[in-house]
Every structure is written in structure tokens, then in C-alpha cells.
């Protein structure tokens, strides 16, 4: 017979100072505003799409993507395309962004050929919301870059699960 193992767990409550409490509330307020801006922009895009203006949302998404600065992974992809197709880096980046926009606005069909309007529209609206809110954030500031990236990724994941029919509440981990 094996001896019983008892595991004890202790929970401590931290006594936050006034400055710490204000910093936590400010971070939560910023995150809430950013998330609500993403949701509002997505709802706007869905409303525009439902009223027959899918093309205008797709063209606005293309404009937003083309006007972005060339940084990070986009530079690597553009450089590779520029070398393989013998074009300038700016042309390669613009072509990559146009393809990205057309991929986001592409219609989704079932194996039998039925058009999945809800999934297609939601996918376009999500891409539009992310790019629109990011463009506004970069112009105006207001949200820390790491927090914005974390919230954007969580928003994209939540929308992807909703589109696939597996919705769940977002669980946002502590931002370091």
C-alpha cells in the first residue's frame, strides 16, 4: 500500500498600491476600448456587406493594406517575390498586399458548390476590422503595441472559431 500524498495550495491576496491599481485599470480600459473598436468596425463592415456594398469593403481593405508600411515578415516576402519576378521591392509588396486582400474577400464554397455567404462575409469583415483599427491605432496611438498584437490575434482566433461554428469566450492571458 502506497502512502497518500497530500498537495497543499496556498493563495495569497496582493495588497496593491494606488499606483498599481490605477495602472491595472488603465490597461484594462485600453484593452476594452481596443476590443470594442474591433467589434464595432466588424459590425459596420457586416452591415455594409449585408446592404450590398461588399465591393466597397473589399476595396477599402485593399487600400488599407496597400497603404501600410513595409515592415517585418512583409519585407521578407516582398524581397523574395522581387527577386523571383525581377520587379522592385515596392511593386512586390503592393502585389503581395493586393493578393492578401483578394484572399480575405474570396468567397467560400462547400464541396457541392454551395456559396457560404455567412462565412465569406464574416471573414471579409474580420480582416477589414483588424486592418482598419490597426491603421487608426498607428495614426492616433493610444494602445501599447504588444497589447494590440495580443488582442488582434485573440480577436482573429475568436472570429475564426465563430465562423467555423465553435464559438467560445475569449480568455486573454496576462500580457508581459
Number of domains within the chain: 1
pTM, two decimal places: 0.74
Give a yes or no: residue 134 inside a domain: yes
Q: Is pLDDT at 40 greater than 90 in this prediction?
A: yes
How far is residue 116 CA from its own chain's centroid? Answer: 22
Mean pLDDT, rounded, for 75-97: 82
pLDDT tens digits for range 104-159: 777 777 777 776 777 788 888 998 998 888 888 887 776 677 888 888 888 888 88
DSSP 8-class letter at 168: -
Give a yes or no: residue 9 inside a domain: no
User: What's the domain range around 53?
Assistant: 18-163
Q: What are the residue ranges of helices labelled H in the chain?
A: 18-50, 54-66, 73-85, 89-104, 117-140, 145-163
Give a yes or no: residue 57 inside a domain: yes
Give a yes or no: residue 6 inside a domain: no
pLDDT score for 172: 60
Give a yes or no: residue 5 inside a domain: no
Give a yes or no: residue 48 inside a domain: yes
Give a yes or no: residue 24 inside a domain: yes
- Look over the chain and give the mean of its residue pLDDT values, rounded to a whole number: 82
Amino acid at each position: 500500500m502506497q502512502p497518500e500524498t497530500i498537495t497543499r495550495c496556498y493563495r495569497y491576496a496582493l495588497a496593491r498600491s494606488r499606483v498599481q491599481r490605477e495602472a491595472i485599470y488603465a490597461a484594462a480600459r485600453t484593452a476594452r476600448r481596443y476590443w470594442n473598436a474591433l467589434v464595432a468596425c466588424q459590425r459596420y463592415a457586416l452591415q455594409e456587406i449585408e446592404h450590398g456594398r461588399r465591393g466597397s469593403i473589399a476595396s477599402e481593405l485593399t487600400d488599407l493594406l496597400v497603404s501600410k508600411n513595409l515592415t517585418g515578415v512583409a519585407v521578407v516576402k516582398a524581397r523574395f517575390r522581387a527577386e523571383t519576378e525581377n520587379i522592385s521591392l515596392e511593386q512586390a509588396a503592393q502585389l503581395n498586399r493586393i493578393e492578401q486582400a483578394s484572399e480575405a474577400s474570396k468567397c467560400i464554397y462547400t464541396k457541392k458548390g454551395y456559396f457560404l455567404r455567412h462565412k465569406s462575409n464574416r471573414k471579409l469583415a474580420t480582416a477589414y476590422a483588424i486592418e482598419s483599427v490597426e491603421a487608426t491605432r498607428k495614426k492616433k496611438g493610444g494602445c501599447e503595441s504588444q497589447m494590440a498584437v495580443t488582442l488582434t490575434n485573440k480577436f482573429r482566433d475568436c472570429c475564426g472559431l465563430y465562423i467555423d461554428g465553435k464559438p467560445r469566450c475569449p480568455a486573454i492571458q496576462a500580457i508581459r
